[in-house]
Amino acid sequence: MKGISYRGNHICFGRYALQALEPAWITSRQIEAGRRAMSRNVRRGGQIWVRIFSDKPVTVRPTETRMGSGKGSPEYWVAVVKPADNSGARQLMCIRIIGAGNRRYASIGDIVVAVIKEAVPNMSLERSEVIRVVIVRTCKELKRSNGMIIRVNK
């Protein structure tokens, strides 16, 4: 699954929201587990709005069945989630890393001054505008001090 969501990517209710960083299928069990964990943490202090709904059935055929004989029964339901891009920038070019001295490459969590090379039409940002951004993920893996390596699969 590819692509970026340009609609439905702003907060409608409340002050905080969860944002998808990569496209995925979220099952109804995952949605319910997340809702339970949030409501357990919030207790009576707030409200939770779940704005996704699992409306796509995933069918599975039984093992060792012959070809033909239909599609198979619906096993579970999923919600298709795409990463939100509410900035309006499609392509950026890094100018410098803030607070890094003369470091050449940015890593996860660094604040970067960048210029917009390509922008989405009818959005707040325009081409050749200089902005500050936070690096969320990189192609190069992240090595932690305890030896763990985190890498993003393409």
Which CATH number does the domain housing residue 59 bear? 3.90.1170.10
Averaged pLDDT, 36-63? 87
Alpha-carbon distances of 31 from 80, 132, 141, rounded to whole Å: 12, 33, 29
End-to-end CA distance of the chain: 11
75 and 113 inside one domain: no
8 A C-beta contact, residue 144 and residue 151: no
Check residues 66 and 139 and name the one with the higher pLDDT: 66
Which amino acid appears at position 33 of this protein? Answer: A
Supply the pLDDT for residue 76.
Answer: 92
Same domain, yes or no: 82 and 94: no
Domain check: are 69 and 145 in the same one? Answer: no
- 3-class SS shares of the chain: helix, strand, coil, % to 5: 10, 30, 60
**pLDDT at site 77:** 93
Residues ≥6 apart with Cβ < 8 Å to 110: 97, 98, 100, 134, 135
As a residue count, the chain comes to 154
The model's pLDDT over 64-75, given as tens digits with 9 standing for 90+, comes to 888 887 888 889
Residue 126: CATH number of its domain = 2.40.150.20
Which residue range is the domain that position 108 belongs to?
Answer: 89-150
Query: Is 74 in the same domain as 35?
Result: yes
The model's pLDDT over 76-103, given as tens digits with 9 standing for 90+, comes to 999 988 876 666 777 888 888 888 777 7
Residues 56, 100 within the same domain: no
| pLDDT of 47 above 90 | no
Q: Is the pTM of this model over 0.85?
A: no
Q: Are residues 31 and 42 in the same domain?
A: yes
